[in-house]
Amino acid sequence: MKSPELYLLSRTNRPDSHTLDVFRRHEGYQALERVLKGGFSPQEVIGMVKDSGLRGRGGAGFPTGLKWSFMPDPEKDPRPRYLAVNADESEPGTCKDRVLLEKDPHGLIEGILIACYAMQVKTAYVYVRGEYRLPHDRVAKALAEARAAGWVGENILDSDFSCEICGEETGLMESLEGKRGHPRPKPPFPAGFGLWGQPTTVNNVETLHNVPFIILRGAEWYRSMGTEKSPGNILVGISGHVERPGVYEVPLGTSAQKILEDHAGGVWKGRKLKAWIPGGSSTGFLPGSQIGLSMDHDSLKEAGSMLGTAAMIMLDETACVVRAMQVMARFYDHESCGQCSQCREGTEWLSQIFRRIECGDGRVEDIDLLTSLANGMAPGKTICALADAAAIPTHSVVRHFRAELEAHVEQGRCPYLSNDQPSQATVGAHA
């Protein structure tokens, strides 16, 4: 079998891959040239992205071309419009956009420019999380280079197309406007009412990186990789108890087992797999026996999980799922912005209950209490998806690892902890 074609990471291993020079020598800005000089209309670009079947890589998997087509027609709605680029990678386990921002910032800029052309947007904001200093600096430097070379700014390539891109170190939307990072209820949806109340599309970094390749090589080429409903390649970050953690590019639909074994070198220390998370902490646990699943939207959905950000987190047979869940529940409690009572109270309760079960102070009723709390945090009951993001892994632990919860309660201690260890020790021993 021939190995799959790589494109997302095709430049990242080259020395100085973040510079304009290296980028230009490896197909850089050729897709933009084709769009601007080849007489593509904005609608044609949207059509190509629709035909490619590209789905958002930020976690929800929404079809990108369709999302772009929701932007109102500028003839009828002349208000300023924006593209907000989500470089706020923050779903625990997810570390793929950082690779692209650091090593291929011009690839992002080219994707942004083509998206802006298609949606007739003149201003894009790249929201890079505050902790990402090197990625932020790389994007800022790439923007300066691109601007100096005429790729960003007025009348790009002597066309009528002008586009400004601002690389900002700040929370998306609300915090882009300088307010506290409070998620807003939907509707109104951002396509009609986003930044400063103007039409706005939000896209993830990796999503936009796909776009120039679709333009250059065609929708049919794109559809030759991946599955029918999830075409193309995806960046999988694999972390936890594996020999070679890392960010790998694979066609959508690749089996999780293949990624674990061929790319990540298998479970570390010759151990067996107990549990794994397919797409970032919000997608919840699956039992190790389900490692044969394919990494694509539909397969994981059928298995009651989600592809999310394709951030695989692996737990070996000595790990404690309850303790891992306690760490995750603490995170959601910390992140809840507190606007919705179900989320504010729910995340706090979940964190406390998992903690007391792990510490050996749990009661049998706690297990059903976890389920009923998580039920109260279902989508539609809160403003944003953070409450659901805490509920999903909670349900997964009760569904797949109920026996482990019960063992903690019955024994009044964590069964995976030797007696002389403090109960707040880590989930896995240090290598």
Residue 32 or 389: the one with the smaller Cβ distance to another protein is 389
Examine residue 333 and tell whether it contacts another protein (CB under 8 A).
no
Examine residue 237 and tell whether it contacts another protein (CB under 8 A).
yes
Q: CB 424 → ligand FMN: shortest distance, Å?
A: 26
Sign of CA dihedral 273, 286, 412, 406: negative
Q: What are phi and psi of 247, to 5 degrees?
A: -110, 120
Q: Which of another protein, ligand SF4, ligand FMN, none lies near 343, with the C-beta cut-off 5 to 8 A by kind?
A: ligand SF4
Closest by CA position to 299, among listed 256, 250, 233, 253: 253
Which string of DSSP letters, residue by residue, matches 127-195? EE-TT-HHHHHHHHHHHHHHHHTTSSBSSGGGSS--BEEEEE----TTTTTTS--PPPPSSSPTTTS-G
Residue 305 or 347: the one with the smaller Cβ distance to ligand SF4 is 347
Query: Which one of residues 133, 269, 363, 402 is an interface residue with another protein (CB under 8 A)?
Result: 133
Examine residue 262 and tell whether it contacts another protein (CB under 8 A).
no
Q: Which of another protein, ligand SF4, ligand FMN, none lies near 62, with the C-beta cut-off 5 to 8 A by kind?
A: ligand FMN
Q: Which helix (H) or strand (E) holds 295?
A: none
Q: CB 375 → ligand FMN: shortest distance, Å?
A: 18
Q: Which residue is nearest to ligand SF4 (CB)?
A: 343
Q: Which two tokens stand for residue 400?
A: 């797949």
Q: Which two tokens stand for residue 379?
A: 């989508």
> Which residue is it, tokens 């990186």?
209
Examine residue 205 and tell whether it contacts another protein (CB under 8 A).
no
Examine residue 240 and tell whether it contacts another protein (CB under 8 A).
yes
180: burial class by Cβ within 10 Å (0-12, 13-18, 19+)?
exposed
Q: Which residue is nearest to ligand FMN (CB)?
A: 56
Q: What is the 3-state secondary structure (H, E, C) of 7-23?
A: CCCCCCCCCCCCCHHHH
Residue 66 or 149: the one with the smaller Cβ distance to ligand FMN is 66
Contact by Cβ (8 Å): 127, 84: yes
Examine residue 238 and tell whether it contacts another protein (CB under 8 A).
yes
Contacting residues toward ligand FMN, per CB under 6 A: 56-60, 62, 67, 86, 88-91, 94, 202-204, 207, 282, 384-386, 389
Q: Which two tokens stand for residue 97?
A: 């956009």
Cβ neighbour number for residue 365 with a 10 Å cutoff: 9
Contacting residues toward ligand SF4, per CB under 6 A: 183, 336-340, 343-344, 382-384, 386-387
Q: Which of another protein, ligand SF4, ligand FMN, none lies near 175, with the C-beta cut-off 5 to 8 A by kind?
A: another protein
State how far the Cα of 395 lies from the Cα of 238, in Å rounded to an integer: 23
Q: Which helix (H) or strand (E) holds 98?
A: helix 96-103
DSSP 262: I
Residue 148 or 157: the one with the smaller Cβ distance to another protein is 148
Binding site for another protein (CB under 8 A): 80, 89-95, 97-98, 129-134, 166, 168-171, 175-181, 196, 237-241, 245-247, 277, 281, 311, 313-315, 319, 324, 327-328, 331, 334-335, 337, 424-431
